[in-house]
Structure formats: C-alpha cells, structure tokens
C-alpha cells in the first residue's frame, strides 16, 4: 500500500488478537476502496503483537494520516462460560493513537461496532464512528475531512459536549458495493499462520432470530454479489497461494439459489478441485441440490447455527425452521458425505429441563460430524431478545456472575440470559453431560465457570480434522 505525504491518508488499525486468528477481511476491502479513491492507506495489524502498545513505536510518527480508522469486529466473544470483553483494550488503543497522531481524528467501524455504535463510541472515547459498510462511506469521510467540510454521511457518529450524536444510517450506508479486487498480502500472512482467509458473497440477513446482531449490524436487506465477482476473487486468492477459505456471509444460503450460483461459478472456473472452504448454513434453506452443489464446489464442511432441536424453542428463538428441516438438512449432508456441525444454544426464554433434554437427545440423533452445545444467550441491546426481556423486566447475568435487571444495563459489557428453570438447577451441567453420554461428537460448554474457554475455532478444528481424516 503506497504512501505519499501530499495526499490524504488513512491509517487502518486491526486490534483483533483473539484466537483463532482471523484475517481482517474488512481491511482488505476498505484499503482497496480507499486506494480507488486515491487516498493513501497504511495498515497497522496488531494481531500478532504481544500487546497493542508495543507496536505503536515512534517510527509510526513519520506519517501523519488524515484520520485513524479502527476496526471493531468483535466487542466480546459472546460466550457465557469464559467471557472475554475486548473493548477495554481498544479504549486504551484509542487513547494511545490520539497521543501519537494528535491531528488525526479516530474513527471506529466494524460489525461489532455497528451492533451498538453509540455505546461503543462512548466507551472507547473515539472522535467518530461509522455504522455499516465502509467502502463508500470511508473515502467520503476522508475526502470531506481533507476539504475541511463537516462530514455529512449517513450512519456517522460523533461526540459533541460529551454526548454521542449521529446521522441515521440509510440502507445505502449499510452497503451495496462489495468489491472484488483486493490485496492478498495480509490474508497470506494469516494463511501461513494457520488462519483461514475470508471471502464474502453477500451482506445482510432477512431472518430475525431473536438474539442475533447480524440483521442489526449488516442490515436485514440482503445485498448479493454477482457470483462472477466472487469467482474472480477466489481465483485471485488461489493464484496467490490461498486455497483454504471461509465464506464470510452471515449465512451462505440466504438465499439458497444465490449459494448454488456461487458454487456453479466456482465449478465453471475449474476452481473446485483447488480449494477447500467452509461456511455457515441455515437449515431453513438447505435442500439436497444445495448440498450437492456445495460438494461439487469444493466445500469441505458446513456449520449449522441450529440453536435448538425442540420446535417450541425454535419458535421462541424465531429461527424460521422446525426440527424436521434440521433432520432433512442433516440427512442430505450424511447421504452426500459433506461434514457438518450443529451448534445449539440452551437457556433461552421458556427453556426448561425437558426442552433441553429433548434438544440434546435429538442433536445426537442427527449424527453430525461434530456438535456443540452451550448455555447462556448473549443479550445485545438492539435485538428482539432485548426487547422481549425488557418487556418482561427480566434479569440478565453479567460476566462477573451477578444478576441485574435488564433495565439497568446498557448491554455493552457482556450480559447473558439463562432461563431461571435452568440457572436454578444445580444439577443441570451433570444432567446434560449424562444425556450426552459417551457420544464424543458432542462438545458441551456448560454453566459452570470452570468450563474450558469455548471458541468456534475449537469446533472448527474438530470439523477440519474430521474432514482431513475422511
């Protein structure tokens, strides 16, 4: 990425050091968009740093960017057992960057940020924030800033007299453009460190699962990329030596037909044999032809965010499918030998021991390659779950284990809901373990704080090992 002192410039910072390492796809896309607008870019990737401060050396002072953009992908790890809250570290980083670059305003963005922007802004004390997609908005922001014009961009947040103010994000601000061209240097570095490179085929999700922030941060209107652009991007990655990929859509099959078209494009470009890739699927739109195309297109494994196997609970969570859909999706995967993972989440409103038991017993019957069951639903502020709990004046559980009325929490710091029929049952973990029995394909992250720190990666690794062993 080129740097000249005469043009506007942006320093893009990736503070994400969470395991598993994940290449910052957002920064690839944003850097390309900035370069297309003739704005200089430098990327400060702190992922492989022992701590955030050590990378902020005086050599960075050689260059004075017009603004410093910080990508907040995750605010926390969303895990009840083994909660990690990442924003205190980001707040320190913002403070340091302001000290190092006193003339450059700090700007926050990213999917974690966009899920609760005002709360994150206030906490991190940044100068600006941008909700939603950055490819159009960020170059516009820098151009306005360089011209001395007050940026007037949908979805912009700024601080004035200690208050966070903002312009409403428009659908357009949530993004229509998904770029194809990208610099693969960064992805390559992660790839060499065992990380999987990402590709997006679309943005947004029109489902409304009650706990999920994707419709909030990405929008509930799906913006599809032309499958030919996706194919070209994958081809570019393969030419750079990157052959293991993750489709970074909220759900790859929302909608199903587009997923099939992407697979067809991969096949028609002759890429299927060269790559191995993973994706999220909803059982709501999983037909046999889809699974057949996934196989043909080089997909090595899929993750179903199933969340439950009991129809009452699936309705409570507003998942948009029922257990018979989960059964058929699993059957198609088994019949066509596509490794698959089911993830279920216990403890949502209305959960009791009998729904939990049904969930685990049915989960086992699906014979997934790997299954993950966890307890405790992260409550994010602008979700249907938060509204439901507020209307019921429910309590949430803070990461220190304390109960607090939801009305007293801004939900920025991790807070979870566990149905009291579960949380009050001291034998719950033991019972779940008993229901799982000797089925080693089911991994359980329980209520007790002693549980191992859960990570998607753990299950991905199990899925990946199963793929390799097959």
Residue 92 contacts by C-beta under 8 Å, 6 or more apart in sequence? 52, 53
Choices 66-74, 202-210, 392-400, 454-462 (CB under 6 A): range interacting with ligand SF4: 202-210
Nearest Cα to 191, choosing from 13, 2, 28? 28
Specify the DSSP class assigned to residue 401.
Answer: S
Element (H, E) at 138: helix 137-146
Q: Which does 237 bind (CB under 5 to 8 A by kind): ligand SF4, ligand B12, none?
A: none
75 contacts which partner out of ligand SF4, ligand B12, none, CB within 5 to 8 A by kind?
ligand B12
Q: Is 415 in the site for ligand SF4 (CB under 6 A)?
A: no
> Other CB atoms closer than 10 Å to residue 203's CB: what's the count?
24
Q: Which stretch binds ligand SF4 (CB under 6 A): 62-70, 125-133, 206-214, 232-240?
A: 206-214
Find the shortest distance in angstroms from Cβ 185 to ligand B12: 16
Residue 288's nearest CA partner among 352, 255, 334, 240 is: 334
The DSSP string of 145-210 is HHTTPPP--TTEEEEETTEEEEPPPPTGGG-S--------HHHHHHHHTTPPEEE-SEE------T
Q: How many residues bind ligand SF4 (CB under 6 A)?
A: 11
Q: Does 43 bind ligand SF4 (CB under 6 A)?
A: no
**Distance from C-alpha of 390 to C-alpha of 404, rounded to nearest angstrom:** 12
Of the pair 297, 362, the CB lying nearest ligand B12 is at: 297
Q: Give the helix/strand (H/E) hosting 31.
A: helix 25-36
Per partner kind, with CB cut-offs from 5 to 8 A, the member of ligand B12, ligand SF4, none near residue 215 is: ligand SF4
For the bound state, the minimum distance from the C-beta of residue 214 to ligand SF4, rounded and expressed in Å, comes to 4
Token couple for 350: 């209305």
459 binds ligand SF4 (CB under 6 A): no
215 binds ligand SF4 (CB under 6 A): yes
Select the residue interacting with ligand SF4 from 76, 119, 214, 256 (CB under 6 A): 214
Structure tokens at 249: 């859509």
Taking CB under 6 A as the criterion, the residue among 76, 133, 251, 256 binding ligand SF4 is 251
* Residues that bind ligand B12 in the complex, under the rule CB under 6 A: 16, 18, 20-23, 25-26, 29-30, 69-71, 73-79, 107, 109-112, 114, 130, 133-135, 138, 175, 196, 198, 200, 212-214, 218, 246, 248, 250, 454-457, 460
Q: Which does 305 bind (CB under 5 to 8 A by kind): ligand B12, ligand SF4, none?
A: ligand SF4
- Picked from ligand B12, ligand SF4, none, the partner binding residue 207 (CB below 5 to 8 A depending on kind) is ligand SF4
Per CB under 6 A, 423 contacts ligand SF4: no
- Contacts with ligand SF4 in 274-313 (CB under 6 A)? 282, 305
Rounded CA separation 111/214 (Å) = 8
Please enumerate, as own/partner, the contacts of 219-223 that have beta carbons within 8 Å and a separation of 24 or more. Answer: 219/132, 219/171, 219/174, 219/175, 221/171, 221/174, 222/254, 222/255, 223/174, 223/175, 223/176, 223/178
Q: 105, 68 in Cβ contact below 8 A?
A: yes
- Candidates 190-198, 201-209, 411-419, 460-468 — which segment interacts with ligand SF4 by CB under 6 A? 201-209
Candidate ranges 85-93, 210-218, 344-352, 376-384; the one touching ligand SF4 (CB under 6 A): 210-218
Q: Bridge-partner residues for 198, per DSSP?
A: 246
Q: Is the dihedral of CA 73, 79, 80, 81 positive or negative?
A: negative
Please say whether the dihedral angle defined by the alpha carbons of residues 190, 194, 197 and 203, taken in this order, is positive or negative. Answer: negative
User: Which region among 204-212, 226-234, 269-277, 323-331 touches ligand SF4 (by CB under 6 A)?
Assistant: 204-212
- Which residue is associated with the tokens 């004075």? 64
Per CB under 6 A, the list member of 73, 207, 258, 378 interacting with ligand SF4 is 207
Contacts of 160 (CB under 8 A, 6+ apart): none
Question: Residue of minimal CB distance from ligand B12?
Answer: 109
Compare residues 121 and 435 and give the one whose CB is closer to ligand B12: 121
Distance CA 181, CA 189 (A): 18
> Could you tell me the two tokens for 78?
């969303």
Q: Does 248 bind ligand SF4 (CB under 6 A)?
A: no
Beta-strand pair 163-166/156-160: antiparallel
- Of these partners, ligand B12, ligand SF4, none, which one is at the site of residue 421 (CB under 5 to 8 Å by kind)? none
Q: Between residues 111 and 184, which has the closer beta carbon with respect to ligand SF4?
A: 111
CB of 334: closest distance to ligand B12 in angstroms?
A: 22
What does the DSSP assignment read for 85-101? Answer: B-HHHHHHHHHHHHHH-
**Min CB(365)–ligand B12 separation in Å:** 25
Provide the binding-site residues for ligand SF4, judged by CB under 6 A.
205, 207-209, 212, 214-215, 250-251, 282, 305
């Amino acid at each position: 990425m080129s740097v000249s002192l005469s043009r506007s410039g942006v320093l893009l910072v990736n503070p994400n050091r969470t395991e598993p390492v994940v290449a910052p796809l957002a920064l690839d896309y944003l850097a390309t968009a900035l370069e297309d607008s003739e704005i200089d870019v430098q990327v400060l990737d702190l992922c492989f740093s022992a701590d955030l401060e050590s990378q902020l050396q005086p050599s960075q002072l050689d260059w004075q960017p017009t603004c410093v953009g910080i990508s907040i992908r995750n605010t926390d790890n969303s895990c009840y057992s083994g909660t990690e809250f990442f924003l205190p570290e980001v707040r320190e980083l913002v403070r340091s960057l302001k000290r190092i670059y006193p003339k450059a305003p700090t700007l926050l963005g990213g999917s974690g940020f966009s899920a609760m922007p005002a709360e994150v802004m206030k906490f991190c004390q940044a100068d600006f924030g941008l909700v939603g997609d950055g490819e159009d908005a960020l170059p516009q922001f820098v151009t306005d800033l360089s011209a001395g014009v007050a940026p007037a961009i949908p979805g912009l947040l700024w601080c004035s007299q200690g208050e966070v103010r903002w312009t409403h994000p428009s659908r357009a601000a949530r993004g229509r453009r998904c770029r194809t061209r990208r610099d693969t240097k960064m992805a390559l570095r992660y790839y060499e460190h065992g990380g999987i490179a990402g590709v997006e085929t679309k943005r947004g999700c029109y489902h409304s699962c009650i706990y999920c922030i994707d419709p909030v941060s990405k929008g509930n209107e799906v913006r599809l990329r032309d499958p030919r652009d996706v194919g070209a991007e994958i081809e570019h990655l393969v030419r750079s030596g990157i052959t293991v990929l993750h489709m970074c859509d909220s759900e790859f099959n929302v909608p199903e037909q587009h997923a099939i078209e992407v697979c067809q494009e991969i096949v028609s470009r002759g890429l299927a044999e060269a790559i191995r890739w993973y994706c999220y699927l909803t059982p709501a739109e999983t037909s046999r032809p889809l699974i057949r195309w996934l196989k043909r297109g080089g997909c090595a494994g899929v993750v179903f965010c199933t969340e439950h196997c009991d129809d009452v609970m699936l309705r409570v969570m507003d998942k948009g499918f029922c257990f018979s859909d989960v059964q058929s999706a699993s059957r198609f995967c088994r019949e066509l030998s596509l490794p698959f993972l089911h993830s279920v989440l216990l403890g949502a409103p209305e959960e009791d021991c009998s729904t939990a038991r049904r969930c685990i017993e049915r989960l086992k019957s699906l014979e997934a390659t790997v299954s993950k069951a966890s307890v405790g639903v992260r409550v994010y502020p602008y979700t249907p779950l938060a509204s439901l709990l507020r209307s019921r004046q429910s309590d949430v559980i803070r990461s220190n284990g304390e109960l607090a009325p939801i009305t007293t929490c801004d939900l920025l710091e991790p807070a979870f809901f566990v149905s009291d029929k579960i949380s009050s049952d001291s034998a719950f973990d033991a019972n779940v373990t008993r229901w799982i029995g000797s089925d080693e394909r089911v991994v359980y992250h329980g209520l007790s704080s002693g549980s191992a720190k859960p990570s998607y990666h753990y299950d991905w690794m199990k899925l990946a090992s199963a793929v390799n062993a097959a």
